């Protein structure tokens, strides 16, 4: 290996404050083997070629490929390695944007949250702990939230982070072009009282404080928005942004002044490693190959690769336990015979969720009984199992027979789904499950955006072929998924009706154990009616592989990756 070169490769300090670049940046390396004579290796190679062969252009052309390939192979073999204490994370997709408020999605948020710290933090038990805010007050009507901001907080560029900055953040999030900020939907205003930031809502906001600790709400420093209209994320978090080469990588550098408050993290200060890089490697095989060769330290595996690496003592699979994700299915309730509870129950009884988890997800996740993010208070899998439908093909057949369906008159049903790793295989098994109980099922798979548009349309139908469809939700608040999907019209026109609206509104108005009981009531109602069926948790982007020697990685809530404790 190249450990001998690791020490030799000093890296010229790069101004960490760089604008987002779309050019392919070549990290300058220096040759220290020349006894302190530093030279830009890349340029000198180029110049040598030109000088030497100036007279003989054709030979230069002929030898270009060989020289370029071989010289760079020899000199840069090491530069490509995870040297210099760089944590390199290979993922399939690039971030869409690094602007928190421009709709970064999960991929982007994970990177952004490495740069930005939130006001409050969520502990493993989902309790709320101080972050940038050392304390907070919530008005009983849940309209006003006051955060006392720690003193002496410094942004990566040296500017202070204070209550004014918090105000600026909420005002920025409240701009009309901001996306994905349902938790502050009815923001009234943000103001400053000394070192206290005051956030007011027009309507009662219960989910706010917990949402603040989640992936989405890291705090930017106002200097992120440059005078010339460009943007580069500046925060107070453990990693400073250096550069983003589109479709290639996002490079971050350790914030040496960092002070940790996150209860999940042992390291009290700055991260152990010097650099953190999120590299885009679209091909599954290439990601794992890069992990094997030591070129990257973290790699998203496919589920097939999980099975392969799991039994290899040299590798470790990290699976998110606090993902807040859950996969669920629902029905086009207005299309007969899905308006018949027995038919819905029969369909759910036919589904072997344990096998989905074991086969399609290589046992890396678990079947769930509650239609809610698991591992949250009041989400009791045993209770849910009593209310819902377990895998029982005989019962499914009996219920179908009761509803008038049998071998001579099979129920026609379409499973409508979107493509996703693991899910594709799960749906195949699901199709077989339904056929096994005599349902004449077909599988329709679409790409995600087409699926969303289609299901929205299908949910308005009242006749035709009935459909069952699957989707995934994530969150740290058990009511949020319901509010998003089943209350009112719902994201896919999948609202469950007035009864559901009433139950959720009631639960929202309660607190503590009373709210917990109300949540359980909602789940009992949904499960016994078989409006919605829970499938597995987590559902997507919840596994990552490393060498066994890598330690300290933490998957926090919503699969947020934390690298502060990581040692390579």
Partner 1 sequence: MEGVTPEQIEEMRRQLGLGQPAWVQSALYVWHAIQGDFGHTIVGREPVLGFLLSRLPATLALTASGLGIAIAIGLPLGFLAAYNRGRWIDNTLMFISVLGISMPSFWLGLMLLLTVPVYLDFIPVAGEGPASIILPALTLGLVYSAVIARMTRSAMIEVLSEDFIRTARAKGLRETIVMSRHAFKPASISIVTVIGLIFGSMMGGQVIVENVFSWNGLGRVAVLAMQQRDYPTIQGFIILFAAIIVTVSVILDMIYLWIDPRVRTG
| 64 forms part of the interface with partner 1 (CB under 8 A) | yes
**Beta carbon nearer to partner 1, 79 or 560:** 79
**Beta carbon nearer to partner 1, 178 or 191:** 178
Q: How many residues bind partner 1 (CB under 8 A)?
A: 56
Nearest to 431 by CA among 420, 422, 442: 442
| 567 forms part of the interface with partner 1 (CB under 8 A) | no
**What x-and-dash track marks residues 138-157 binding partner 1 by CB under 8 A?**
--------------------
Exposure of 175 by Cβ count < 10 A (0-12 exposed, 13-18 middle, 19+ buried)?
A: exposed
Q: Which residues pair with 389 in a beta bridge?
A: none
Contact in structure between 358 and 365 (CB atoms under 8 Å) = no
Angle between helices 303-310 and 284-293 (to 10 degrees): 30
Token reading at 212: 């603040």
Long-range CB contacts for residues 117-120, cutoff 8 Å, separation at least 24? 117/218, 117/219, 117/235, 117/236, 117/237, 117/238, 117/261, 118/212, 118/213, 118/214, 118/217, 118/218, 118/219, 119/147, 119/166, 119/212, 119/213, 119/217, 119/219, 120/147, 120/209, 120/212, 120/213
Specify the stretch interacting with partner 1 by CB under 8 A; choose among 291-299, 363-371, 531-539, 560-568: 291-299
List the one residue from 4, 13, 51, 177 that touches partner 1 (CB under 8 A).
Answer: 177
Nearest to 315 by CA among 327, 299, 330, 302: 299
| 105 forms part of the interface with partner 1 (CB under 8 A) | no
The Cα–Cα gap between 466 and 415 comes to 9
Contacts of 102 (CB under 8 A, 6+ apart): 96, 177, 178, 179
List the one residue from 83, 115, 220, 296 that touches partner 1 (CB under 8 A).
Answer: 296
List the one residue from 214, 215, 232, 290 that touches partner 1 (CB under 8 A).
Answer: 290
| 77 forms part of the interface with partner 1 (CB under 8 A) | yes
Specify the stretch interacting with partner 1 by CB under 8 A; choose among 8-16, 58-66, 318-326, 551-559: 58-66
**Beta carbon nearer to partner 1, 437 or 479:** 479
Q: Which residues pair with 121 in a beta bridge?
A: 129
List the one residue from 10, 39, 69, 514 that touches partner 1 (CB under 8 A).
Answer: 69
List the one residue from 3, 19, 22, 48 that touches partner 1 (CB under 8 A).
Answer: 22
The Cα–Cα gap between 321 and 189 comes to 36
List the one residue from 16, 83, 89, 94 that touches partner 1 (CB under 8 A).
Answer: 94
List the one residue from 13, 15, 23, 151 that touches partner 1 (CB under 8 A).
Answer: 23
Specify the stretch interacting with partner 1 by CB under 8 A; choose among 78-86, 365-373, 395-403, 469-477: 78-86
The Cα–Cα gap between 163 and 133 comes to 9
DSSP secondary structure of 252-280: EEE-TT-----TT----SS-SSSEEEEEE
Q: Cβ of residue 485: shortest distance to partner 1, in angstroms? A: 12
What part of residues 511-550 is at the interface with partner 1 (CB under 8 A)? none
List the one residue from 51, 58, 65, 314 that touches partner 1 (CB under 8 A).
Answer: 65
| 393 forms part of the interface with partner 1 (CB under 8 A) | no
List the one residue from 295, 362, 477, 565 that touches partner 1 (CB under 8 A).
Answer: 295
**Beta carbon nearer to partner 1, 120 or 280:** 280
**Beta carbon nearer to partner 1, 45 or 128:** 45
Residue 271: how many CA atoms within 13 Å on its side-chain side?
A: 27
Q: Cβ of residue 385: shortest distance to partner 1, in angstroms? A: 32
The Cα–Cα gap between 115 and 110 comes to 9
What part of residues 440-469 is at the interface with partner 1 (CB under 8 A)? 449, 452
User: Between β-strands 298-299 and 86-91, what pairing exists: parallel, antiparallel or unpaired?
Assistant: parallel
Size of the chain in residues: 568
List the one residue from 11, 17, 42, 428 that touches partner 1 (CB under 8 A).
Answer: 42
Specify the stretch interacting with partner 1 by CB under 8 A; choose among 71-79, 220-228, 255-263, 545-553: 71-79
Q: Cβ of residue 384: shortest distance to partner 1, in angstroms? A: 28
**Residue 428 parent element (H or E):** helix 423-436
Specify the stretch interacting with partner 1 by CB under 8 A; choose among 130-138, 210-218, 242-250, 529-537: 242-250
Q: 3-state secondary structure string, 478-518?
A: CCHHHHHHCCCCCCCCCCCCHHHHHHHHHHHHCCHHHHHHH
Specify the stretch interacting with partner 1 by CB under 8 A; choose among 239-247, 355-363, 371-379, 421-429: 239-247
Contacts of 408 (CB under 8 A, 6+ apart): none
| 421 forms part of the interface with partner 1 (CB under 8 A) | no
| 248 forms part of the interface with partner 1 (CB under 8 A) | yes
What part of residues 467-496 is at the interface with partner 1 (CB under 8 A)? 491
**Beta carbon nearer to partner 1, 244 or 331:** 244
Token reading at 55: 């007279």
Specify the stretch interacting with partner 1 by CB under 8 A; choose among 64-72, 315-323, 381-389, 467-475: 64-72
What part of residues 255-284 is at the interface with partner 1 (CB under 8 A)? 279-283
**Beta carbon nearer to partner 1, 295 or 392:** 295
List the one residue from 33, 247, 409, 460 that touches partner 1 (CB under 8 A).
Answer: 247
| 176 forms part of the interface with partner 1 (CB under 8 A) | yes
List the one residue from 181, 187, 544, 560 that touches partner 1 (CB under 8 A).
Answer: 181
The Cα–Cα gap between 208 and 203 comes to 12
- Cis, peptide link before residue 337, omega less than 30° from 0: yes
What does the binding site for partner 1 look like in residue numbers (CB under 8 A)?
1-2, 22-24, 26-27, 42, 64-66, 68-69, 72-73, 75-81, 90, 94, 96-97, 176-182, 245-249, 279-283, 285-287, 289-290, 292-296, 449, 452, 491
């Amino acid at each position: 290996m190249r450990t001998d070169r690791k020490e030799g490769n000093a890296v010229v300090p790069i101004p960490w404050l760089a604008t987002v670049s779309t050019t392919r940046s070549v990290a300058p390396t220096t040759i220290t083997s020349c006894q302190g004579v530093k030279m830009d290796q890349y340029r000198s190679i180029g110049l040598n070629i030109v000088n030497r062969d100036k007279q003989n252009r054709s030979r230069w052309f002929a030898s270009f490929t060989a020289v370029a390939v071989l010289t760079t192979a020899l000199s840069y073999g090491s530069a490509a390695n995870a040297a210099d204490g760089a944590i390199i994370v290979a993922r399939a997709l690039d971030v869409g944007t690094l602007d928190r408020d421009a709709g970064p999605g999960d991929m982007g948020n994970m990177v952004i949250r490495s740069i930005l710290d939130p006001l409050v933090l969520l502990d493993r038990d989902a309790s709320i702990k101080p972050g940038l805010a050392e304390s907070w007050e919530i008005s009983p009507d849940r309209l006003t939230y006051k955060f006392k901001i720690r003193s002496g907080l410094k942004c990566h560029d040296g500017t202070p982070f204070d209550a004014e900055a918090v105000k600026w953040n909420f005002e920025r999030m409240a701009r009309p072009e901001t996306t994905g900020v349902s938790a502050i939907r009815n923001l009234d205003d943000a103001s400053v009282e000394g070192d206290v930031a005051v956030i007011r809502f027009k309507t009662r906001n219960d989910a706010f404080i917990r949402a603040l600790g989640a992936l989405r709400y890291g705090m930017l420093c106002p200097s992120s928005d440059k005078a010339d209209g460009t943007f580069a994320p500046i925060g107070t978090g453990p990693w400073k942004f250096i550069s983003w080469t589109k479709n290639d990588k996002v490079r971050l550098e350790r914030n040496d002044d960092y002070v940790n408050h996150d209860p999940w993290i042992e390291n009290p200060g700055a991260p152990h490693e010097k650099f953190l890089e999120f590299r885009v490697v679209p091909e599954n095989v290439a990601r794992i190959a890069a992990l094997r060769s030591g070129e990257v330290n973290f790699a998203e595996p496919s589920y097939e690769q999980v099975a392969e690496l799991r039994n290899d003592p040299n590798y470790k699979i990290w699976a998110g336990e606090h993902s807040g994700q859950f996969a669920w299915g629902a029905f086009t309730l207005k299309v007969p015979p899905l308006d018949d509870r027995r038919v819905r129950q029969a369909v759910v009884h036919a589904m072997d969720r344990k096998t989905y988890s074991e086969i399609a997800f290589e046992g890396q996740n678990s079947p769930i009984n509650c239609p809610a993010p698991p591992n949250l208070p009041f989400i009791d899998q045993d209770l849910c199992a009593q209310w819902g439908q377990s895998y029982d093909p005989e019962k499914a057949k009996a219920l179908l027979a009761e509803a008038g369906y049998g071998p001579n008159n099979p129920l026609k049903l379409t499973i409508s789904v979107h493509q996703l790793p693991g899910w594709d295989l799960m749906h195949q098994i699901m199709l077989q499950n339904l056929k096994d109980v005599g349902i004449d099922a077909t599988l329709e798979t679409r790409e995600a955006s087409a699926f969303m548009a289609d299901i929205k349309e299908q949910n308005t139908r009242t006749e035709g072929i009935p459909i069952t469809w699957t989707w995934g939700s994530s969150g740290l608040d058990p009511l949020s998924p319901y509010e998003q999907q089943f209350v009112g019209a719902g994201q896919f026109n999948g609202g469950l009706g007035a009864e559901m609206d009433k139950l959720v509104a009631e639960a929202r108005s309660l607190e503590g154990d009373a709210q917990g009981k109300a949540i359980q009531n909602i789940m009992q109602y949904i499960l016994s009616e078989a409006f919605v069926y829970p499938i597995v948790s987590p559902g997507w982007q919840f596994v990552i592989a490393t060498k066994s020697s890598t330690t300290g990685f933490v998957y926090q809530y919503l699969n947020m990756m934390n690298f502060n404790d990581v040692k390579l």
